[in-house]
A and B are shown apart, each in its own frame.
Chain A
Amino acid sequence: MKPIVKSSEELLPHLFRQEYAKMTAVLCRHFGLAHIELAEDIASETFLKASENWPINGIPQNPTAWLYTVAKNKLKDYFKHTAIFESQVKKQIIASPISDQQDFEFDPKIIADSQLAMIFAVCNPGNPMENQICLALQILCGFSVGEIANAFLTKTETIKKRLLRARNQLRKDHFRIKELNEKEIRQRLETVLRTLYLLFNEGYFSKTNNQLIRKDLCSEATRLALVLTDNPLTKTAQTYALLSLMCFQSSRLEARTNPEGEAILFEDQDKSLWDNALIEKGNYYLIHACSGAEVTKYHLEAGIAYWHTTPTDQKKWEHILQLYDQLILIENSPVTALNRLFALAKVYGNEKAITEAEKVNDNHSNSYHALLGYLHAERNIDTAIEHYQQAINLTKSGTEKKTLIKEIKRLTKKKTHNKII
């Protein structure tokens, strides 16, 4: 039986991911982003104290409140020291701006506002997209350099460099949310949404096997999108569409992997594990996303996700194909093209999809071979296995490898079974 009370080794990493970013964001209000390191130091020290204190004294009744109290005291100490430095060491009268900055609270409103400021700071168009995401993973989601490197399948050194460059850019920018005017917020919103979208996908399609990280990432991205819907400037149709997409996808999080972390194919998912409350929220936000003539990638993807969670409709795959047809006009990526072919197979049959797929001819992509393997599996087991094998050789994801090997085993079994008959 599982113990009800979690040990601090279990609880802390989760809390760290959840609260570190919020804490840093709120602390940043007092230091400004130019000194984000100070805020991060205080947040880190707070968690360090917890990791020393909790195993000995036990987990406090309200761990989050405990953390914030410690952070608050550390901030006070910091200001006291600076005040002494300012007044005595530098022989100056107590610096006035510091004292009125002392009273700070971690109430939900302030957290939301601070995080909004952080999101917009991170999504600085002066930084290339991948640097923005690295920074977002670190600042908004409390990821370690190692974890980011894992997610990007790159060396930690590369990530360190990216983060350094991104932070330098932020410092130059002296960003504060209050200084951003309406026009700037609107301009950056697109990048902000894109970053949240990628954050979510990082969790949803992640290469890492750690379930907890993945779920934390998805819920963090969703929560941040929700923050955007609280602000009149940022609650656009696009924001609602993205949030709707996140809700629909999240509703299937529990069902799409087994306890070993292997992916479960859509058709084999236990639909009773789908989260109905999230599906309803997805519906709600999707309806809110329909104002004005604007149709974005998020609208279409939310639509596709909607049909995936609606198991009964007979025309389901026709709707999905139609949406992919529109999506491919907005964003012609290999992933979209392959997903469209999957829908095409559902509507017009595998043969037709195979002909179309051969036109795409994306030989270096594991997804391309995985799709061809799937399309051939019914009629031509040998060709299917060949493609699956190529997909295995090309993929970098352990989870995908496992799933594909399983599929090959199933096909081989079916083949010998056919022979016996």
Chain B
Amino acid sequence: MKEFALIFRLNNTTDFKPSPEQMQERMNWLAGIASQNKLADKGNTLLPTLAGAKTVRPNNVVSDGPYTEIKEFISGYIVIRTDTIEEAVEIAKSNPIFKIGGNIEVREVLKRD
């Protein structure tokens, strides 16, 4: 089994706070993965607020906010356990994030240990 990080991206901070229904939908999606024994790490949410996100660049340049490119920012991640990247992509496809214009990056995890 390989592990893949699913990195969630949104491009509008107002979408960040989910409604109870959206929260519900996400939980259902996650539970579906967990119940197949494929959720390796439930991951975390990354706060996009100005107080909670800064970008550090060379020469001590620090900018406020989570933006790396234009308006897009990373909103969170989880790690799943599947045999192939195709299977991981299939799982990602059923995430409700696409309804609000977000996207998901799927990346194989190379363990450091």
Contact = CB atoms under 8 A, between A and B. Distances in A.
Contacts of B36: 303, 319, 322-323
A288 interface: yes
Contacts of A319: 35-36
B37 A323 contact: yes
A302 interface: yes
A283 interface: yes
Contacts of B40: 290, 293
B91 interface: no
A319 B32 CA distance: 10
Interface stretch (B9-17, B23-31, B59-67, B99-107): B23-31
B27 A290 contact: no
A386 to B, nearest CB: 37
Contact of B37 (A288, A291, A326): A326
A210 B42 CA distance: 40
A388 interface: no
Interface in A309-357: 310, 313, 319, 322-323, 326
A385 interface: no
A287 B37 contact: no
A294 to B, nearest CB: 11
A291 B42 contact: yes
B74 interface: no
B85 interface: no
B37 A295 contact: yes
Interface residues on B, range: 10 to 19
Nearest to B39: A290
Given A288-B42, A291-B42, A283 B30 contact: yes
A300 B27 CA distance: 18
Contact of B31 (A283, A292, A326): A283
A287 B30 contact: yes
Interface string A115-135: 000000000000000000000
B28 A287 contact: no
A280 B35 contact: no
B35 A303 contact: yes
B87 interface: no
B97 interface: no
B34 interface: yes
Contacts of A282: 31
Contact of B41 (A280, A291, A302, A323): A291
Contact of A300 (B31, B37, B39): B37
A237 to B, nearest CB: 10
B1 to A, nearest CB: 10
A46 B74 CA distance: 59
A306 B37 contact: no
Contact of B28 (A283, A302, A322): A283
Nearest to A326: B37
Contacts of B42: 287-288, 290-291
Contacts of A286: 31, 34-35
Most buried by A among B34, B36, B42: B34
Contacts of B32: 306, 310, 313
B41 A287 contact: no
Nearest to A293: B40
A280 B31 CA distance: 9
Interface string A250-282: 000000000000000000000000000000101
Given A290-B40, A290-B42, A291-B42, A303 B34 contact: yes
B34 A289 contact: yes
A290 B24 contact: no
B27 A280 contact: yes
B41 A290 contact: yes
Contacts of A54: none
B35 A302 contact: yes
Interface string B32-68: 1011110111100000000000000000000000000
B30 A303 contact: no
A315 B35 CA distance: 13
B40 to A, nearest CB: 7
A214 interface: no
A322 B42 CA distance: 21
> Across chains A and B, which 8 residue pairs bring their CB atoms closest together, nearest first?
A283-B31, A306-B35, A290-B39, A303-B35, A286-B34, A287-B30, A290-B34, A290-B42
Interface of B: 24, 27-28, 30-32, 34-37, 39-42
19 contacts: A283-B31, A286-B31, A286-B35, A287-B27, A287-B31, A287-B42, A288-B42, A289-B34, A290-B41, A290-B42, A291-B42, A293-B40, A295-B37, A300-B37, A306-B31, A310-B35, A313-B32, A319-B36, A326-B37
Given A286-B31, A290-B39, A326-B37, 14 more contacts: A283-B28, A283-B31, A284-B27, A286-B35, A287-B30, A288-B42, A299-B37, A303-B34, A303-B36, A303-B37, A306-B31, A306-B34, A307-B35, A310-B32
